[in-house]
């Protein structure tokens, strides 16, 4: 069954309520590499209950609607979907606990052609369930490789990624990852076996389980908070990126950045293989 443009654009993705705990906040931080230096108090504030703060990128796991594209009535060939881009805008510092509600919707689907697939954009807003105050807005693109040529939707132009500056990076920071990083990160809600089961990873064409793309996103966030925000997480108010290649747990992620006032461009490479894994990165820093 092909994608029905109007149906998918109005697909009823259920709202998700979450009772966020301090343990959830600390577990997420450990999943993106916090605590590698136990003497670094800047890192400790994300993993220790005394004065606990949330890593900004935790926004991407809050009130997640789950893998709803797997539902047969979406018309999506879910086996062939890839996470293309991710953006988060923080309207206030993330809480470390509390009752939250997330509402998701499909905002557009571009039909790139029968041999090129489709590009679907989604938006999720997360708010305080008790006060209604908006906490963050998340947008993402999903590349549906097996669903082009459905008709009924625009063919483009789709939004262009952020262009990196032509000059050399202003700085770089290396972020080692643990061999068990994917096994820790998945406990924040993404249980795709591709990140844990060697047999599934091999069937998908990888030599071993890969790191979640959103974990790599979180590692980059940690790097930006460390290098450019002096470990003041409330200063990072936006982060965008395009996923370009997978990371294997245990590899070192080098985040290169260009700073133009409060606007930051960045990309990330795996040091051991010299492969760009995050590209066209953009962030905004307050103060």
Q: State mean pLDDT over 171-189.
A: 96
Q: What is the pLDDT of residue 158?
A: 82
Domains 5-144 and 171-285 share a fold: yes
Residue by residue, DSSP assigns the chain as: ----HHHHHT--PPPEEEEE-HHHHHHHHHHTTTTSSTT-HHHHTTTSSTT----GGGGGGTT---SGGGSGGG---GGGEEEEEEEEEESSPPPSSEEEEEEEEEEEEEE--TTT-EEEEEEEEEEETTT--EEEEEEEEEEETT-TT--SS---PPPPPPPPPSSPPSEEEEEE--TTHHHHHGGGS---GGGT-HHHHHHTT-SSPPPPHHHHHHHHHHHHHHHHSTT-GGGEEEEEEEE-S---TTPEEEEEEEEETTEEEEEEEETTTTEEEEEEEEEEE--
Per-residue confidence band for 62, with pLDDT thresholds at 50, 70 and 90: very high
pLDDT at 1 over 80: no
User: For the chain, which residues make up each domain, given as ranges?
Assistant: 5-144, 171-285
What is the reported pLDDT for 267? 98
Enter the CATH code of domain 171-285.
3.10.129.10
Supply the pLDDT for residue 155.
84
How large is the average pLDDT for residues 192-221? 93
In the predicted model, is pLDDT for residue 59 greater than 90?
yes
The whole-number pLDDT of residue 195 equals: 93
Task: From the candidates 24, 111, 147, 195, give the one annotated as an active-site residue.
Answer: 195
* Architecture category of domain 5-144 in CATH: Roll (3.10)
Instruction: Provide the pLDDT confidence category of residue 172 given band limits of 50, 70 and 90.
Output: very high
Rounded CA gap, 33 and 39, in Å? 14
- Give the chain's mean pLDDT: 95
- Dist. CA 217–CA 241, nearest whole Å: 8
Q: What is the per-residue pLDDT for 22?
A: 98
Q: With 90 as the cut, is the pLDDT of residue 152 above it?
A: no
Please indicate whether residue 195 is annotated as part of the active site.
yes
Query: Is 212 an annotated catalytic residue?
Result: no
Q: Residue 67 — very low, low, confident or very high, per pLDDT cuts 50/70/90?
A: confident
Highest mean pLDDT among 37-41, 120-124, 149-153: 120-124
Q: What is the pLDDT of residue 79?
A: 80
Q: What is the pLDDT of residues 20-45, one digit of tens each?
A: 999 999 999 999 999 998 899 999 99
pLDDT digits (tens, 9 = 90+) for 6-17: 999 999 999 999
pLDDT for 11 equals 96
Give the pLDDT of residue 156: 79
Of 190, 212, 222, 240, which is the active-site residue? 190
| Residue 52 burial (10 A CB sphere; 0-12, 13-18, 19+) | middle
pLDDT value of position 257: 98
Residue 50, both tokens: 């005394």
């Amino acid at each position: 069954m092909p994608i029905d443009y109007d149906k998918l654009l109005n697909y009823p993705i259920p709202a998700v309520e979450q009772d966020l705990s301090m343990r959830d906040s600390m577990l997420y931080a450990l999943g993106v590499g916090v605590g590698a230096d136990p003497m670094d108090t800047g890192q400790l504030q994300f993993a220790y209950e005394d004065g606990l703060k949330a890593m900004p990128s935790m926004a991407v796991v809050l009130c997640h609607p789950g893998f709803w594209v797997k539902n047969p009535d979406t018309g999506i060939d879910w086996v062939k979907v890839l996470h293309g881009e991710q953006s988060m805008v923080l309207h206030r510092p993330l809480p470390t606990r509390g009752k939250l509600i997330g509402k998701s919707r499909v905002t557009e689907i571009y039909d790139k052609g029968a041999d090129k697939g489709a590009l679907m954009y989604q938006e999720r807003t997360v708010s305080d369930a008790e006060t209604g105050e908006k906490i963050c807005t998340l947008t993402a693109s999903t590349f549906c490789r097996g669903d082009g040529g459905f008709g009924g939707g625009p063919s483009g132009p789709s939004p262009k990624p952020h262009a990196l500056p032509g000059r050399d990076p202003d700085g770089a920071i290396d972020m080692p990852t643990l061999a068990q990083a994917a096994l820790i990160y998945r406990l924040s809600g993404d249980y795709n076996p591709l990140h844990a089961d060697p047999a599934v990873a091999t069937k998908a064409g990888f030599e071993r389980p890969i790191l979640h793309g959103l974990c790599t996103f979180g590692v980059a966030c940690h790097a930006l908070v460390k290098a450019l925000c002096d470990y003041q997480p409330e200063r990072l108010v936006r982060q965008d990126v395009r996923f370009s290649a997978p990371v294997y747990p245990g590899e070192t992620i080098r985040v290169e950045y260009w700073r133009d006032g409060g606007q930051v461009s960045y990309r990330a490479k795996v040091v051991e293989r010299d492969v760009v894994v995050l590209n066209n990165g953009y962030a905004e820093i307050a103060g």
